[in-house]
Amino acid sequence: MRRRGIFILVILLLGGSLLPPVRAVSAATASPAPAQRILLLFDSLGRGTDQEGNVAELQRLLAAYSAQVTLKPIAGYEPGSMSAYTGVITVVNNDELGITNQAYLQDAAKYRGAVLHVGYRPPAGMQQALGLKPGVWHGAGASLSIGGFTGIPLDVKKMPYITAAGSGRSYGLWSSADEGMQAPFAVSRGRITYLPYLKQGNFTGMAAAYVLKDWLKFTAEPQTYLVIKEIYPFSDLELLEELADRLYQSGIPFIASVRPVFGNTDFPAMKRYLEALRTVQAHNGSIVVNAPAVRPPVNTKDRTLRGKMNHFINVLTEGGAVPLGVAAEGYWTYDKEYSTAGMGFFNSAVLYPDGETHYMEQMDTSAVFASAVYSLPPELLQGISRDGKAMPQLPLNAGVTYDLPENEDGLEELLQSLKNEWYTFADYKQASHKVSTDIHTLVAAGGVIQVDGHTLDVDYIPKTVIDDYQYQEKQATSFNTLFSVQNQFFIVVILAALILFGGLLAIGYRLYRRKYLRK
């Protein structure tokens, strides 16, 4: 029988909302110094246009390649700063206004590092180097083929594209059967690359990853992971265990992105949570800690996040459910407090698209993780044409994300979706991960997890958690014996008085009868 205690649920919800202050501890550094330092410049964020969100998409793609990114508007570029970076990306979303910052124009002309231009109006020097002839596509749509994916129909508006290019390398192919258009998705030659069009939320983001992989000279073999998120202590934990078992029987490893609990961690509900997570771990599931939700208003003076995250990681570890990474929205890596106090224990991360952004202390330079996973919804890959039956290898570490199903029907739907798409998922713990708290060091590599130097035995038989828990401590009392004796004394006195009163009534009644019945 599925157990859901309303009282426990309320207590845990209150406990998980960044509750009591906990002593701050030193967090681990997110990662060693990055190999790539990228300057990402933009003329506008394209609000209300088809290009809106493309800058944020680039930020998350670059994070998946472990690049450290500094984000600045072109108008705010300062002379001489370009030389400090291994690569420069310029995003031009405005198709009418030119770039007027002379410091940028002069430094860009002299820069000899890797250069990537995204959007409208590639510079004249780039056009000459690549033999480019840029244009703007005004058709209603076009189809994209790249990396084993073929003929993906996409809606585009005022799309900048390449009408002609020289002898450089081309990536992918745009086509339109009705108007006879054929054009490369991107072109590259030496250190210079031009990517005309990128839109957040459709397949152009994944297509851009093919381009960035070469532009960044990323040589590690990318992996694709299955990520199950929205897992809470009050979720249907029996359904979670059933999902883990079904995936295990199908030979599918997965990542469980679990929501943290910051208070009441000794309650039976928390113990059941740990039991379920240990079962997940025993069925080839890897655990990552999902960052807590941030809701406005943000209290910039609240610096308790580090202590709370540290405590929860320790609770998981000591309960036998060892986390290997952190999961958060991409903007967390650009916040000084969130990236250090919330994510700094880990060198591995799963990065979700931004929802509502609520910064505490925003930075223009990102935190970096040695291993980062770019998450994408299954809808992005479902039903699209491809070479062969199996899903082609994606160009970066990617996580296909599903929410934990709410019922048996949702579970069957999820499993059928995985079967239909012929994914090949990797085991997250085969990669290298490190987590450090104030008292524990957790390491995973080659499928082996170690806690403080000792190998963790992931085999586990679930136990029943007893609900016999005292939710409220007994209050200290005094004079218990005296009050007990007094109570007993008063009870005796009252009983005696009642008996006496009853006797007097009986006597009075008899006297009454003798007096009046004789007459």
pLDDT in tens, 494-517: 888 888 888 788 777 777 766 665
Q: Is the pLDDT of residue 370 over 80?
A: yes
Contacts of 109 (CB under 8 A, 6+ apart): 125
Q: Are 343 and 29 in contact (CB under 8 A)?
A: no
Confidence at residue 305, expressed as pLDDT on a 0 to 100 scale: 93
The first and second tokens of residue 389, run together, are 């039956």
CA separation for the pair 37, 30 (Å, rounded): 15
Task: Indicate the pairing of strand 371-376 with strand 348-352.
Answer: parallel
User: DSSP letter at 382?
Assistant: T
The first and second tokens of residue 224, run together, are 């694709």
Q: Is the pLDDT of residue 2 over 50?
A: no
**Mean pLDDT within 140-144:** 87
Could you tell me which of 95, 45, 38, 43 has the C-alpha nearest to residue 70?
Answer: 38
What pLDDT digit, counting tens, does each position of 163-212 carry? 998 888 999 999 986 777 899 999 999 999 999 999 998 999 999 999 99
Q: How confident is the model at residue 385 (pLDDT cuts 50, 70, 90)?
A: confident
Q: How confident is the model at residue 365 (pLDDT cuts 50, 70, 90)?
A: very high
Query: % helix / strand / coil in the chain, to the nearest 5?
Result: 30, 25, 45
* R_g of the chain computed on alpha carbons: 32
Long-range pairs for 151-159 at CB < 8 Å and ≥24 separation? Answer: 151/175, 151/385, 152/203, 152/384, 152/385, 154/199, 154/202, 154/203, 154/204, 156/50, 156/197, 156/199, 157/49, 157/50, 158/49, 158/50, 158/95, 159/50, 159/196, 159/197
Q: Are 212 and 65 in contact (CB under 8 A)?
A: yes
Q: Is the pLDDT of residue 287 over 50?
A: yes
Confidence at residue 492, expressed as pLDDT on a 0 to 100 scale: 82
**Mean pLDDT within 22-50:** 67
Q: Is the pLDDT of residue 469 over 70?
A: no
Higher pLDDT, 183 or 487: 183
CA separation for the pair 90, 125 (Å, rounded): 14
The first and second tokens of residue 122, run together, are 């590639």
Handedness of CA 162, 165, 171, 174 (dihedral sign): positive
**Mean pLDDT within 81-85:** 94
Residue 409: how many other CB atoms lie within 10 Å: 9
Q: Is the pLDDT of residue 383 over 90?
A: no
Higher pLDDT, 130 or 515: 130
Give how far the C-alpha of residue 24 lies from the chain's centroid of Cα atoms, to the nearest Å: 23
CA separation for the pair 120, 237 (Å, rounded): 50
Could you tell me which of 109, 217, 199 has the C-alpha nearest to residue 160?
Answer: 199
Q: Residue 176 is inside which H or E element, if any?
A: strand 173-176
Q: What is the mean pLDDT of the chain?
A: 86
In 385-453, where do the E strands start and end? 398-403, 433-436, 441-445, 448-451
Could you tell me which of 299, 311, 369 has the C-alpha nearest to residue 337?
Answer: 299
Contacts of 9 (CB under 8 A, 6+ apart): 234, 269
SS3 call for 43: coil
Contacts of 199 (CB under 8 A, 6+ apart): 50, 51, 53, 54, 57, 154, 156, 205
Q: Are 379 and 83 in contact (CB under 8 A)?
A: no
Contacts of 202 (CB under 8 A, 6+ apart): 154, 380
